[in-house]
Amino acid sequence: MFDLKKYIMASKTALFSIQRSEALWKRALELIPSGTQCYSKGPTLYTRGVAPIYLQRGDGCRVWDVDCNEFVDLGMGLWAVTLGHNHPAHVAALGKALREGTQMTLMQPQEVEVAEALTDVIPCAEMVRYGKNGSDVTTAAVRLARACTGRDVILRSGYHGWHDWYVALTDRNRGVPEFNKLLSGRFDENDRQGFDALMARHEGKVAAVVMEGVQSKTADREFLKHVREQTRKRGALLVFDEVINGWRFAIGGAHEWLGVDADLATFGKGMANGTPLSALVGKREFMKELDTTFFSFTFGGETLGLAAVLAVLEVYRREAVVQRLWEVGQKLHTGAQCAIDAHGLGAWIELTPHPVRTFWTFREPYRGCEGDLLKTLFQQEVLRRGVLWAGWHALSLSLANDVSAVERVLTAYDEALAVVQKAVANQSVRAQLQGEPITPVFRRH
Protein backbone atom coordinates (compact mmCIF):
# COMPACT_ATOMS: atom_id res chain seq x y z
CA MET A 1 0.00 0.00 0.00
CA PHE A 2 1.24 3.47 -0.84
CA ASP A 3 2.65 5.29 2.22
CA LEU A 4 1.53 8.92 1.99
CA LYS A 5 3.67 10.11 4.91
CA LYS A 6 6.75 8.53 3.42
CA TYR A 7 6.00 10.18 0.10
CA ILE A 8 5.57 13.64 1.64
CA MET A 9 8.85 13.31 3.51
CA ALA A 10 10.79 11.90 0.57
CA SER A 11 9.57 14.06 -2.31
CA LYS A 12 11.43 17.32 -2.77
CA THR A 13 9.27 18.44 -5.67
CA ALA A 14 5.77 18.11 -4.20
CA LEU A 15 4.02 21.46 -4.52
CA PHE A 16 0.91 20.87 -2.42
CA SER A 17 -0.59 18.83 0.37
CA ILE A 18 -3.53 16.48 -0.10
CA GLN A 19 -3.99 15.47 3.53
CA ARG A 20 -7.69 16.40 3.73
CA SER A 21 -8.38 14.51 0.49
CA GLU A 22 -6.68 11.42 1.89
CA ALA A 23 -8.62 11.66 5.16
CA LEU A 24 -11.94 11.91 3.31
CA TRP A 25 -11.00 8.97 1.09
CA LYS A 26 -10.28 6.83 4.14
CA ARG A 27 -13.75 7.64 5.49
CA ALA A 28 -15.37 6.96 2.12
CA LEU A 29 -13.90 3.47 1.85
CA GLU A 30 -15.79 2.50 5.02
CA LEU A 31 -19.13 3.73 3.71
CA ILE A 32 -19.23 3.71 -0.10
CA PRO A 33 -18.52 0.60 -2.23
CA SER A 34 -15.38 1.33 -4.26
CA GLY A 35 -15.30 4.67 -2.45
CA THR A 36 -16.89 6.57 -5.32
CA GLN A 37 -20.21 7.13 -7.09
CA CYS A 38 -18.52 7.26 -10.50
CA TYR A 39 -15.42 5.25 -11.43
CA SER A 40 -14.27 7.94 -13.84
CA LYS A 41 -14.05 10.40 -10.94
CA GLY A 42 -12.36 7.98 -8.56
CA PRO A 43 -8.65 8.00 -7.64
CA THR A 44 -7.72 5.00 -9.79
CA LEU A 45 -7.59 7.34 -12.81
CA TYR A 46 -5.17 9.67 -11.03
CA THR A 47 -1.70 9.26 -9.55
CA ARG A 48 -2.43 8.12 -6.01
CA GLY A 49 -0.50 10.04 -3.42
CA VAL A 50 0.04 12.95 -5.78
CA ALA A 51 -3.41 13.84 -7.11
CA PRO A 52 -6.20 15.44 -5.11
CA ILE A 53 -9.22 13.18 -4.57
CA TYR A 54 -11.95 15.67 -3.64
CA LEU A 55 -12.72 19.04 -5.20
CA GLN A 56 -14.45 21.71 -3.14
CA ARG A 57 -15.46 24.35 -5.67
CA GLY A 58 -14.98 25.66 -9.19
CA ASP A 59 -15.05 28.98 -10.98
CA GLY A 60 -14.65 29.30 -14.73
CA CYS A 61 -12.02 26.77 -15.80
CA ARG A 62 -10.38 26.61 -12.38
CA VAL A 63 -11.11 24.34 -9.43
CA TRP A 64 -9.96 24.15 -5.82
CA ASP A 65 -9.61 20.91 -3.89
CA VAL A 66 -10.46 20.40 -0.22
CA ASP A 67 -6.87 21.29 0.69
CA CYS A 68 -7.27 24.66 -1.11
CA ASN A 69 -4.97 23.77 -4.02
CA GLU A 70 -5.89 25.46 -7.30
CA PHE A 71 -5.90 23.73 -10.71
CA VAL A 72 -6.86 24.49 -14.27
CA ASP A 73 -9.63 21.94 -14.89
CA LEU A 74 -9.28 19.98 -18.14
CA GLY A 75 -11.83 17.37 -17.07
CA MET A 76 -14.76 19.77 -16.77
CA GLY A 77 -17.00 17.37 -14.86
CA LEU A 78 -16.33 14.50 -17.29
CA TRP A 79 -17.20 16.67 -20.33
CA ALA A 80 -20.38 18.00 -18.69
CA VAL A 81 -19.41 21.62 -18.03
CA THR A 82 -19.39 23.44 -21.37
CA LEU A 83 -19.72 27.06 -20.22
CA GLY A 84 -17.53 26.81 -17.14
CA HIS A 85 -18.06 26.41 -13.42
CA ASN A 86 -20.24 29.04 -11.77
CA HIS A 87 -21.29 30.64 -15.06
CA PRO A 88 -23.62 33.57 -14.20
CA ALA A 89 -26.35 32.67 -16.71
CA HIS A 90 -26.41 29.09 -15.47
CA VAL A 91 -26.48 30.13 -11.82
CA ALA A 92 -29.28 32.65 -12.43
CA ALA A 93 -31.41 30.06 -14.23
CA LEU A 94 -31.00 27.56 -11.42
CA GLY A 95 -31.85 30.17 -8.80
CA LYS A 96 -35.09 31.08 -10.58
CA ALA A 97 -36.04 27.41 -10.94
CA LEU A 98 -35.41 26.80 -7.25
CA ARG A 99 -37.58 29.74 -6.24
CA GLU A 100 -40.47 28.66 -8.47
CA GLY A 101 -40.29 24.97 -7.55
CA THR A 102 -38.34 22.19 -9.17
CA GLN A 103 -40.66 19.22 -8.61
CA MET A 104 -44.44 19.51 -8.55
CA THR A 105 -47.44 17.21 -8.68
CA LEU A 106 -48.25 18.05 -12.29
CA MET A 107 -46.09 18.75 -15.31
CA GLN A 108 -44.38 22.12 -15.67
CA PRO A 109 -44.20 24.34 -18.77
CA GLN A 110 -40.43 24.08 -19.12
CA GLU A 111 -40.92 20.55 -20.45
CA VAL A 112 -42.61 21.99 -23.53
CA GLU A 113 -40.29 24.99 -23.87
CA VAL A 114 -37.13 22.85 -23.87
CA ALA A 115 -38.65 20.36 -26.31
CA GLU A 116 -39.44 23.22 -28.69
CA ALA A 117 -35.90 24.58 -28.30
CA LEU A 118 -34.24 21.23 -28.96
CA THR A 119 -36.35 20.47 -32.03
CA ASP A 120 -35.27 23.85 -33.39
CA VAL A 121 -31.51 23.18 -33.08
CA ILE A 122 -31.05 19.40 -33.54
CA PRO A 123 -31.71 18.26 -37.14
CA CYS A 124 -33.16 14.81 -36.39
CA ALA A 125 -35.26 15.98 -33.44
CA GLU A 126 -39.00 15.99 -34.09
CA MET A 127 -39.97 14.82 -30.60
CA VAL A 128 -38.13 14.78 -27.25
CA ARG A 129 -38.07 12.86 -23.96
CA TYR A 130 -35.87 13.63 -20.96
CA GLY A 131 -33.66 11.66 -18.62
CA LYS A 132 -30.99 12.47 -16.06
CA ASN A 133 -27.95 10.56 -17.36
CA GLY A 134 -26.73 9.60 -20.79
CA SER A 135 -27.21 5.96 -19.78
CA ASP A 136 -30.91 6.64 -19.15
CA VAL A 137 -31.75 7.88 -22.60
CA THR A 138 -29.40 5.62 -24.55
CA THR A 139 -30.97 2.59 -22.88
CA ALA A 140 -34.40 4.08 -23.60
CA ALA A 141 -33.36 4.34 -27.25
CA VAL A 142 -32.45 0.64 -27.23
CA ARG A 143 -35.83 -0.32 -25.79
CA LEU A 144 -37.60 1.95 -28.23
CA ALA A 145 -35.72 0.47 -31.20
CA ARG A 146 -36.67 -3.02 -30.12
CA ALA A 147 -40.30 -1.96 -29.80
CA CYS A 148 -40.30 -0.30 -33.23
CA THR A 149 -38.66 -3.20 -35.07
CA GLY A 150 -39.78 -6.27 -33.12
CA ARG A 151 -36.12 -7.34 -33.03
CA ASP A 152 -33.67 -7.80 -30.18
CA VAL A 153 -30.03 -7.50 -31.31
CA ILE A 154 -28.14 -4.26 -30.70
CA LEU A 155 -24.85 -3.52 -32.46
CA ARG A 156 -22.77 -0.80 -30.91
CA SER A 157 -19.53 1.15 -31.19
CA GLY A 158 -18.25 3.46 -28.47
CA TYR A 159 -19.02 3.90 -24.78
CA HIS A 160 -22.70 3.98 -23.85
CA GLY A 161 -23.08 3.70 -20.06
CA TRP A 162 -23.67 1.14 -17.35
CA HIS A 163 -26.78 -0.82 -18.41
CA ASP A 164 -26.85 -4.53 -19.19
CA TRP A 165 -27.14 -4.25 -22.97
CA TYR A 166 -23.82 -2.39 -23.09
CA VAL A 167 -21.65 -3.80 -20.30
CA ALA A 168 -22.42 -7.41 -21.28
CA LEU A 169 -19.44 -7.35 -23.66
CA THR A 170 -17.04 -5.57 -21.29
CA ASP A 171 -14.85 -6.85 -18.47
CA ARG A 172 -17.20 -5.25 -15.91
CA ASN A 173 -20.16 -7.53 -16.63
CA ARG A 174 -20.62 -9.21 -13.24
CA GLY A 175 -24.31 -9.52 -12.44
CA VAL A 176 -25.38 -9.23 -16.08
CA PRO A 177 -27.38 -12.24 -17.34
CA GLU A 178 -25.49 -14.21 -19.96
CA PHE A 179 -28.22 -13.90 -22.60
CA ASN A 180 -27.31 -10.22 -23.05
CA LYS A 181 -24.14 -11.30 -24.84
CA LEU A 182 -26.23 -13.09 -27.44
CA LEU A 183 -28.18 -9.90 -28.10
CA SER A 184 -25.14 -7.67 -28.51
CA GLY A 185 -22.42 -7.11 -31.05
CA ARG A 186 -19.46 -4.74 -31.04
CA PHE A 187 -17.70 -3.19 -34.02
CA ASP A 188 -14.74 -0.81 -34.12
CA GLU A 189 -14.74 2.77 -35.26
CA ASN A 190 -14.42 3.14 -39.06
CA ASP A 191 -14.30 -0.67 -39.51
CA ARG A 192 -16.57 -1.28 -42.49
CA GLN A 193 -15.59 -4.92 -42.84
CA GLY A 194 -16.28 -5.69 -39.18
CA PHE A 195 -19.57 -3.83 -39.27
CA ASP A 196 -20.74 -5.62 -42.40
CA ALA A 197 -19.80 -8.99 -40.92
CA LEU A 198 -21.88 -8.29 -37.81
CA MET A 199 -24.87 -7.18 -39.85
CA ALA A 200 -24.64 -10.35 -41.92
CA ARG A 201 -24.25 -12.58 -38.87
CA HIS A 202 -27.41 -11.13 -37.32
CA GLU A 203 -29.36 -10.75 -40.56
CA GLY A 204 -33.00 -9.87 -39.84
CA LYS A 205 -32.40 -9.59 -36.07
CA VAL A 206 -30.77 -6.18 -35.62
CA ALA A 207 -33.05 -3.66 -33.91
CA ALA A 208 -30.54 -0.81 -33.82
CA VAL A 209 -26.98 0.28 -34.38
CA VAL A 210 -25.93 2.55 -31.52
CA MET A 211 -22.72 4.47 -32.07
CA GLU A 212 -20.64 7.51 -31.27
CA GLY A 213 -20.02 9.20 -34.59
CA VAL A 214 -16.53 10.27 -33.50
CA GLN A 215 -14.41 8.42 -30.98
CA SER A 216 -10.62 8.27 -31.15
CA LYS A 217 -9.87 8.23 -34.87
CA THR A 218 -10.26 10.68 -37.70
CA ALA A 219 -13.95 11.02 -38.51
CA ASP A 220 -14.89 8.94 -41.55
CA ARG A 221 -18.01 10.41 -43.11
CA GLU A 222 -18.14 7.69 -45.76
CA PHE A 223 -18.16 4.97 -43.12
CA LEU A 224 -21.02 6.63 -41.29
CA LYS A 225 -22.94 7.04 -44.53
CA HIS A 226 -22.40 3.32 -45.18
CA VAL A 227 -23.81 2.49 -41.75
CA ARG A 228 -26.78 4.74 -42.52
CA GLU A 229 -27.41 2.99 -45.83
CA GLN A 230 -27.13 -0.49 -44.35
CA THR A 231 -29.42 0.18 -41.38
CA ARG A 232 -32.05 1.66 -43.65
CA LYS A 233 -31.72 -1.20 -46.13
CA ARG A 234 -31.96 -3.87 -43.43
CA GLY A 235 -34.73 -2.32 -41.34
CA ALA A 236 -32.68 -1.32 -38.29
CA LEU A 237 -32.69 2.05 -36.55
CA LEU A 238 -29.55 4.18 -36.45
CA VAL A 239 -28.98 5.77 -33.04
CA PHE A 240 -26.21 8.31 -32.51
CA ASP A 241 -24.94 8.60 -28.96
CA GLU A 242 -24.05 12.29 -28.74
CA VAL A 243 -23.66 12.42 -24.97
CA ILE A 244 -20.03 13.58 -25.30
CA ASN A 245 -20.01 14.88 -28.87
CA GLY A 246 -23.21 16.89 -28.62
CA TRP A 247 -22.80 20.60 -27.89
CA ARG A 248 -19.12 20.28 -28.88
CA PHE A 249 -18.68 19.27 -32.54
CA ALA A 250 -22.01 20.98 -33.08
CA ILE A 251 -25.07 21.34 -30.90
CA GLY A 252 -26.44 18.25 -32.64
CA GLY A 253 -23.15 16.44 -32.19
CA ALA A 254 -20.96 14.47 -34.57
CA HIS A 255 -23.77 13.31 -36.85
CA GLU A 256 -24.86 16.92 -37.43
CA TRP A 257 -21.25 18.00 -37.99
CA LEU A 258 -20.71 15.20 -40.51
CA GLY A 259 -24.10 15.57 -42.17
CA VAL A 260 -25.34 12.02 -41.51
CA ASP A 261 -29.02 11.36 -40.87
CA ALA A 262 -30.14 9.72 -37.60
CA ASP A 263 -33.36 7.99 -36.56
CA LEU A 264 -32.73 8.67 -32.87
CA ALA A 265 -30.03 10.55 -30.97
CA THR A 266 -29.15 10.86 -27.31
CA PHE A 267 -27.68 13.84 -25.47
CA GLY A 268 -26.47 14.67 -21.96
CA LYS A 269 -23.41 16.10 -20.24
CA GLY A 270 -22.72 19.51 -21.79
CA MET A 271 -26.27 20.41 -22.76
CA ALA A 272 -27.04 21.70 -19.25
CA ASN A 273 -23.55 22.78 -18.12
CA GLY A 274 -23.28 20.00 -15.56
CA THR A 275 -26.84 20.05 -14.23
CA PRO A 276 -28.30 16.53 -14.53
CA LEU A 277 -30.28 16.37 -17.75
CA SER A 278 -30.29 14.11 -20.79
CA ALA A 279 -32.53 13.85 -23.81
CA LEU A 280 -33.67 11.23 -26.28
CA VAL A 281 -34.68 12.89 -29.52
CA GLY A 282 -35.66 11.54 -32.89
CA LYS A 283 -38.06 11.23 -35.73
CA ARG A 284 -41.73 11.33 -34.93
CA GLU A 285 -42.52 7.94 -36.49
CA PHE A 286 -40.23 6.24 -33.97
CA MET A 287 -40.62 8.52 -30.96
CA LYS A 288 -44.40 8.07 -31.06
CA GLU A 289 -43.86 4.46 -30.06
CA LEU A 290 -42.96 5.73 -26.57
CA ASP A 291 -46.72 6.13 -26.11
CA THR A 292 -46.80 2.37 -25.47
CA THR A 293 -43.12 1.67 -24.63
CA PHE A 294 -42.57 2.36 -20.94
CA PHE A 295 -40.06 5.09 -20.09
CA SER A 296 -41.25 7.11 -17.09
CA PHE A 297 -39.76 8.25 -13.79
CA THR A 298 -40.42 10.84 -11.09
CA PHE A 299 -37.67 13.28 -11.96
CA GLY A 300 -38.09 13.15 -15.74
CA GLY A 301 -39.54 16.66 -15.78
CA GLU A 302 -37.68 18.17 -12.82
CA THR A 303 -36.94 21.74 -13.81
CA LEU A 304 -33.37 22.50 -12.71
CA GLY A 305 -31.93 20.70 -15.72
CA LEU A 306 -34.59 22.12 -18.04
CA ALA A 307 -33.91 25.67 -16.88
CA ALA A 308 -30.19 25.06 -17.30
CA VAL A 309 -30.41 23.90 -20.92
CA LEU A 310 -32.42 26.99 -21.90
CA ALA A 311 -29.77 29.20 -20.31
CA VAL A 312 -26.95 27.24 -21.95
CA LEU A 313 -28.60 27.46 -25.37
CA GLU A 314 -28.95 31.23 -25.05
CA VAL A 315 -25.24 31.58 -24.25
CA TYR A 316 -24.36 29.28 -27.16
CA ARG A 317 -26.30 31.53 -29.52
CA ARG A 318 -24.98 34.79 -28.11
CA GLU A 319 -21.31 33.85 -27.82
CA ALA A 320 -20.84 31.33 -30.67
CA VAL A 321 -19.72 28.74 -28.12
CA VAL A 322 -19.15 25.84 -30.51
CA GLN A 323 -16.84 27.94 -32.67
CA ARG A 324 -14.89 29.09 -29.64
CA LEU A 325 -14.56 25.53 -28.32
CA TRP A 326 -13.00 24.58 -31.64
CA GLU A 327 -10.64 27.55 -31.46
CA VAL A 328 -9.34 26.93 -27.95
CA GLY A 329 -9.24 23.19 -28.64
CA GLN A 330 -7.02 23.82 -31.63
CA LYS A 331 -4.64 25.93 -29.51
CA LEU A 332 -4.30 23.16 -26.94
CA HIS A 333 -4.03 20.44 -29.57
CA THR A 334 -1.39 22.28 -31.61
CA GLY A 335 0.60 23.30 -28.55
CA ALA A 336 0.55 19.81 -27.09
CA GLN A 337 1.57 18.22 -30.40
CA CYS A 338 4.43 20.68 -30.82
CA ALA A 339 5.69 19.85 -27.33
CA ILE A 340 5.43 16.10 -27.95
CA ASP A 341 7.41 16.46 -31.18
CA ALA A 342 9.97 18.81 -29.65
CA HIS A 343 10.78 16.26 -26.96
CA GLY A 344 10.95 13.39 -29.45
CA LEU A 345 8.05 11.49 -27.91
CA GLY A 346 5.85 11.11 -30.97
CA ALA A 347 6.44 7.36 -31.16
CA TRP A 348 4.94 6.82 -27.70
CA ILE A 349 2.38 9.61 -27.23
CA GLU A 350 -0.41 10.26 -29.72
CA LEU A 351 -3.25 12.77 -29.72
CA THR A 352 -6.61 12.00 -31.24
CA PRO A 353 -7.23 14.26 -34.23
CA HIS A 354 -10.25 16.37 -33.29
CA PRO A 355 -9.64 19.50 -31.16
CA VAL A 356 -13.01 19.36 -29.40
CA ARG A 357 -12.50 15.71 -28.43
CA THR A 358 -8.79 15.22 -27.78
CA PHE A 359 -7.59 12.10 -25.99
CA TRP A 360 -3.97 11.23 -25.26
CA THR A 361 -2.78 7.68 -26.02
CA PHE A 362 0.41 6.39 -24.39
CA ARG A 363 2.35 3.38 -25.70
CA GLU A 364 5.09 1.21 -24.25
CA PRO A 365 8.38 3.12 -24.78
CA TYR A 366 10.54 0.18 -23.75
CA ARG A 367 10.07 -3.37 -22.49
CA GLY A 368 8.58 -3.42 -19.01
CA CYS A 369 7.15 0.12 -19.20
CA GLU A 370 3.47 0.00 -20.10
CA GLY A 371 1.67 2.99 -21.51
CA ASP A 372 -0.21 3.45 -18.24
CA LEU A 373 3.10 4.03 -16.44
CA LEU A 374 4.10 6.67 -18.95
CA LYS A 375 0.69 8.30 -18.62
CA THR A 376 1.00 8.24 -14.82
CA LEU A 377 4.36 10.03 -14.90
CA PHE A 378 3.06 12.69 -17.27
CA GLN A 379 -0.05 13.21 -15.15
CA GLN A 380 2.04 13.42 -11.99
CA GLU A 381 4.11 16.22 -13.49
CA VAL A 382 1.22 18.29 -14.87
CA LEU A 383 -0.60 17.98 -11.54
CA ARG A 384 2.43 19.44 -9.79
CA ARG A 385 2.17 22.37 -12.17
CA GLY A 386 -1.46 23.05 -11.36
CA VAL A 387 -3.28 21.27 -14.17
CA LEU A 388 -5.99 18.68 -13.44
CA TRP A 389 -5.68 16.24 -16.32
CA ALA A 390 -6.93 12.67 -16.77
CA GLY A 391 -6.04 12.07 -20.40
CA TRP A 392 -8.29 14.42 -22.35
CA HIS A 393 -9.18 18.06 -23.06
CA ALA A 394 -12.82 18.66 -22.06
CA LEU A 395 -13.11 22.25 -23.21
CA SER A 396 -15.35 24.99 -21.84
CA LEU A 397 -16.17 28.53 -22.86
CA SER A 398 -14.40 29.74 -19.72
CA LEU A 399 -11.15 28.20 -20.94
CA ALA A 400 -11.59 30.02 -24.24
CA ASN A 401 -11.94 33.26 -22.27
CA ASP A 402 -8.89 32.64 -20.05
CA VAL A 403 -5.67 33.14 -22.00
CA SER A 404 -3.50 32.70 -18.90
CA ALA A 405 -5.08 29.29 -18.23
CA VAL A 406 -4.27 28.06 -21.74
CA GLU A 407 -0.69 29.31 -21.39
CA ARG A 408 -0.41 27.60 -18.01
CA VAL A 409 -1.57 24.30 -19.49
CA LEU A 410 0.84 24.45 -22.41
CA THR A 411 3.76 25.37 -20.14
CA ALA A 412 2.87 22.48 -17.86
CA TYR A 413 2.74 20.14 -20.85
CA ASP A 414 6.15 21.22 -22.08
CA GLU A 415 7.82 20.91 -18.68
CA ALA A 416 6.14 17.58 -17.91
CA LEU A 417 7.13 16.14 -21.29
CA ALA A 418 10.73 17.12 -20.60
CA VAL A 419 10.59 14.97 -17.46
CA VAL A 420 8.99 12.13 -19.40
CA GLN A 421 11.59 12.34 -22.19
CA LYS A 422 14.45 12.07 -19.69
CA ALA A 423 12.79 9.14 -17.91
CA VAL A 424 12.23 7.32 -21.20
CA ALA A 425 15.83 7.90 -22.26
CA ASN A 426 17.09 6.53 -18.93
CA GLN A 427 14.45 3.79 -18.81
CA SER A 428 13.50 5.07 -15.36
CA VAL A 429 9.80 5.89 -15.75
CA ARG A 430 8.68 3.70 -12.85
CA ALA A 431 11.46 5.01 -10.62
CA GLN A 432 10.25 8.58 -11.19
CA LEU A 433 6.71 7.83 -9.97
CA GLN A 434 5.89 9.26 -6.56
CA GLY A 435 2.53 7.49 -6.33
CA GLU A 436 0.63 4.47 -7.50
CA PRO A 437 0.07 4.01 -11.27
CA ILE A 438 -3.33 4.79 -12.73
CA THR A 439 -5.62 1.95 -13.81
CA PRO A 440 -8.33 2.27 -16.50
CA VAL A 441 -12.00 1.76 -15.64
CA PHE A 442 -12.30 -0.70 -18.56
CA ARG A 443 -9.53 -2.87 -19.94
CA ARG A 444 -11.72 -3.42 -22.96
CA HIS A 445 -15.20 -2.27 -23.98
Q: pLDDT tens for residues 338-368?
A: 999 999 999 999 999 999 999 999 999 999 9
Assigned fold of 4-85+321-432: Aspartate Aminotransferase, domain 1 (3.90.1150)
d(CA 207, CA 275): 31
Query: What class is the 103-301 domain?
Result: alpha beta
Phi, psi of 190 (to 5 degrees): 65, 15
The mean pLDDT value for 383-393 works out to 96
What is the DSSP track for 288-327? GGGGTS----GGGG-HHHHHHHHHHHHHHHHHTHHHHHHH
Of 316, 239, 236, residue with least CA distance to 271: 316
- How does the average pLDDT of the chain come out, rounded? 94
- pLDDT beyond 90 at 16: no
The mean pLDDT value for 213-226 works out to 95
Strand bridging mode 153-157 / 184-186: parallel
Burial of 215 (0-12, 13-18, 19+ CB in 10 A): buried
3-state secondary structure of 427: coil
Q: pLDDT tens for residues 180-196?
A: 999 999 999 999 999 99
Burial of 266 (0-12, 13-18, 19+ CB in 10 A): buried
| Segments making up each domain of the chain, as ranges | 4-85+321-432, 103-301
Contact 313, 338 (CB under 8 A): no
What pLDDT does residue 52 have?
A: 96
What pLDDT does residue 11 have?
A: 39
Q: pLDDT tens for residues 290-323?
A: 999 999 999 999 999 999 999 999 999 999 999 9
